[in-house]
Amino acid sequence: ISKPSTWYFFPNSIANGKPTYPRPTTAILGEELLFKFIKNSNTINHFTKYAFKKKANVAVVTFAYEASSKYFNSLVDSLNNQSVSNFEVVIFNDNAKESIRYFEKLKVKYQIFDLLKDTPTGIRFQGFKILKKLNYDIYIFQDCDDELSKSRVKDVSLMAQKYKLVVNDLDLIDHFSNVYELKIWQSRFAFKSTFSYNDILNYNFVGLGNTTIHKSLFDFFPSRPKGDIPALDWYIFFSVL
């Protein structure tokens, strides 16, 4: 498989300040591969009572840690209020304690993986290893202290059926979910129809909180580096691009 080229556009998007609010939108790439599910014995896998006749091929992915637990409830609400319900949620538990039970309020099927204690970089790479083995086609990355706009799952899922990488622009919102700044990335650099690694040298706009990928992109993820990396998403997507 040849290394893909990347595209993006920033129409009607959103995200937030704290919590953030990624609205539907953006970027691009195409083609797909199949991976077989392989059980990872190093994790504890929890399943809910919710059952689907047909397994969804779209998963929203978040890494939950205790320091952001006060935002879990608003994240769950935004997931429950999505305009579609044919998706599932994968939660990586990074030492969140009783607060992880907030996710029991989800109305869609979900899985919680309790990760081994590690650095922030190590935690993410543990998660990536598991995601590569799960049977989903599309992964929507979502920060646990952010919210999703109502149509984010629907819109990015449709785009990701054609393109490998979809990137949301962000609107900033306050603690009451009031928007106070629109499309923060579009206002910081000139709108372009395509982008490459050169474009993220100065602007880290492709992050693990506002991207959606086809599982085949994991083939281009770098190996886990030695030590911790302050801007892990920058490192990953610079390598992918």
Q: Which residue has the higher pLDDT, 32 or 194?
A: 194
- SS3 of 59, please? strand
- What is the phi-psi region of residue 108: left when phi exceeds 0, alpha when psi lies from -120 to 50, beta otherwise? beta
pLDDT at site 175? 75
pLDDT at site 188? 66
Burial 207-239 (b: 16+ CB within 10 A, else e): bbbbbbbbbbbbebbeebeeeebeebbbbbbbe
CB burial class (10 A; 0-12, 13-18, 19+) of residue 57? middle
pLDDT at site 51? 33
Put the strands of the sheet holding 58-65 in their side by side order. Answer: 44-47, 110-114, 88-94, 58-65, 138-141, 211-214, 165-167
Confidence of residue 203 (pLDDT cuts 50, 70, 90): confident
pLDDT in tens, 22-61: 443 333 322 222 222 222 223 333 333 333 334 459 999 9
The answer, yes or no, to whether residue 173 has pLDDT greater than 90, is no
Radius of gyration of the chain (CA): 17
pTM here is: 0.75
